[in-house]
Amino acid sequence: MRKTIIAGNWKMYKTIGEAIEIANGLKREFFQLDTQVIEVVLCPAFTALSEVSEVLVGSEISLGAQDVYWQEEGAFTGEVSCKMLKDAGCSYVIIGHSERRQYFGETNDSVNKKIKTALSQGLTPILCIGETLAQRESGNTFSVLEDHLSHGLAGFSAEDAERIVIAYEPVWAIGTGKTATPAQAQEAHAYIRGFLAKLYSEESAQRMRIQYGGSVKPDNTSDLMKQPDIDGALVGGASLSVESFAAIVKKALEVKK
């Protein structure tokens, strides 16, 4: 059985003090998390990683970052390495988020390099893929997914790939309040799993986890999580309050346990 994974992507929100407060609230909510069934990951901004990591000591919640650079170290002003993320307490890192692709020049090639370094350093990458509205409307959803997967995962063995979490995030559903319907999401997830089976094997594809992201809220979580190929969620806006993020985790747990 694939373990469900719910990750909160806090984006460019929360000062250190605010981040500590929300992490403390979630730690109290999940002091007894059924970790056989579900994993919970918080992805604050770089500035809050260390402090949130300290708060999470003794809890079942993991820490992740929102991006990383692929070089080990060097004169790369403004960048952060895998070693630095691990030092700050991270075990996960989001790679290739559509906002990075859209605003910061992230490409399949940089995504591929970042994943490679993350894997070699023992961080679990969360690889984000997904189509824009124009791509969906012109009938190109599946070819975009294939492009993101085949280039993002180029050169990895099945063993490597199984350590990667895929996040299907239709760009038109991110931060817009427009969620993909459970059927639309399931269709894309099944396609992704089928494509992973072609790249690797049916067994590997069955072991790989595919999260859905894009306007996940407490009231749409259950229907999304009931879909057979949806193994969790990458949550933006609704991860910014203890109440809504805790509600999402609880709904996912109810469906998946």
Return the number of the residue (5 or 200) whose C-beta is nearest ligand PGA.
5
> Which of residues 52 and 200 has its CB atom nearest to ligand PGA in the complex?
52
Cα separation values, 163 from 49, 100, 179, 218, Å: 22, 22, 27, 28
Query: Which range, of 24-32, 33-41, 200-208, 228-236, touches ligand PGA by CB under 6 A?
Result: 228-236
In the complex with ligand PGA, the residue whose CB is nearer, 130 or 200, is: 130
Of 21-29, 57-65, 111-119, 234-242: span binding ligand PGA (CB under 6 A):
234-242
String of contacts with ligand PGA for each residue 155-194, x by CB under 6 A: --------------x----xx-------------------
Single out the residue of 41, 161, 224, 235 in contact with ligand PGA (rule: CB under 6 A): 235
Q: What are phi and psi of 4, to 5 degrees?
A: -65, 145
Active site amino acids: 97, 169
Considering the complex, state which of residue 9 and residue 200 has its C-beta at the smaller distance from ligand PGA: 9
For ligand PGA, the binding residues (CB under 6 A) are 9, 169, 174-175, 213-216, 234-238
